[in-house]
Chains A and B, each alone.
Chain A
Amino acid sequence: EFTQKQQDLLRHILDAFSKYRIPQEVTKKLLQQRSSVEENFLLLTETATSHVQVLVEFTKKLPGFQMLDHEDQIALLKGSAVEAMFLRSAQIFSRKIPSQQSELLEDRIRHSGIAEEYIVPMFNFYRSIGELKMTQEEYSLLTAITILSPDRSFVKNREAIDRLQEPLLEILQKYCKLNHPDDPQHFARLLGRLTELRTFNHHHSNMLTSWRIN
């Protein structure tokens, strides 16, 4: 069972995660009718920028984060922003949003100047996340765990970050045992998605380069 401390921490992170949303005026534009490659590109840029802002708000609420060295806070956010963005997109694409909305979003992504070689791994990842049928608890914990990764570049005090990440991994592991007794590999599968998520840092920087060239 969860200790009281673990229950409180999970509830706190779930609450912060429920506010981790892009403002409606940005999402509304995303769901408007088809637009040109340039408009799609600008919409995705605006969405990515807005995502970073809401990601910072979520991260500030992670217990202990604001006590970290200020430059380490920036290193963690810089190091995880892209991964958190793709994890969040995967959640949205695997959620039960009306199919014509997800088709519109998918169409917008496919027609925004992103090279096909980056579209394929992106939608493969969304599908592999979708297959896990993750709950809100799993998404919120996995997002927090991704942000609080001690091995990000430019981080000075790795132990302080590890002390914040460790309890979250324990809660997630216990949560998986409690909620997936029939699937002892579920926790390992979730961590496996984090590894897949890391590949998007590389994809994303190449995507930006190809965008600039186009």
Chain B
Amino acid sequence: PASNLGLEDIIRKALMGKYDD
């Protein structure tokens, strides 16, 4: 799930429109 990722990873994924929790 997203919450294990670092802040930057969450931002990069969200910028690409990917939310695979």
Interface residues on B, range: 10 to 19
A73 proximity list for chain B (CB < 8 A): 15
Chain B proximity of A198: nearest CB distance (Å): 17
Best-buried of A48, A49, A57, A74 by chain B (most CB within 10 Å): A49
On whether the beta carbons of A78 and B7 are closer than 8 Å, the reply is: yes
In the complex, per-residue mask of A4-19: 1 if CB is within 8 Å of any chain B CB, else 0: 0000000000000000
Q: How far is the CA of A53 from the CA of B14 in the complex (A)?
A: 6
Bound CA–CA A45/B11 (angstroms): 15
Specify which chain A residues have a CB less than 8 angstroms from the CB of B8 in the assembled complex: 74, 78
Determine whether the beta carbon of A49 is less than 8 Å from that of B2: yes
Number of interface residues of A (CB under 8 A): 16
A184-B15 Cα distance, complex, nearest whole Å: 39
Inter-subunit contact A52/B15 (CB<8 Å): no
Contact check, B15 vs A49: say whether CB atoms are below 8 A apart: no
Across chains A and B, the number of contacting residue pairs, with CB separation under 8 Å, is: 34
User: Hey, what's the 0/1 contact readout for B2-19 against A, CB within 8 Å counting as 1?
Assistant: 110101101110110001
Contact check, A57 vs B11: say whether CB atoms are below 8 A apart: no
Min Cβ gap B21→A in Å is 9
- By a CB distance below 8 angstroms, the chain A residues around B2 are 49-50, 53
Q: Closest Cβ of chain B: how far from A105's Cβ, in Å?
A: 19
Chain B contacts of A78 at CB under 8 A?
7-8, 11
Which residues of A have CB within 8 Å of B19? 53
Closest to B11 in A: A77
CA distance A48 to B15 in the complex (A): 17
Asked if B7 contacts A81 (CB within 8 A), the reply is: yes
The list of the 3 closest CB pairs from A to B, nearest first, reads A56-B14, A49-B3, A77-B11
List 28 contacting pairs A-B, 8 Å CB cutoff, sorted by A: A45-B3, A46-B3, A48-B3, A49-B5, A49-B10, A50-B2, A52-B7, A52-B10, A52-B11, A52-B14, A53-B2, A53-B10, A53-B14, A53-B19, A56-B11, A57-B14, A60-B15, A73-B15, A74-B8, A74-B11, A74-B12, A74-B15, A77-B11, A77-B15, A78-B8, A78-B11, A81-B7, A81-B11
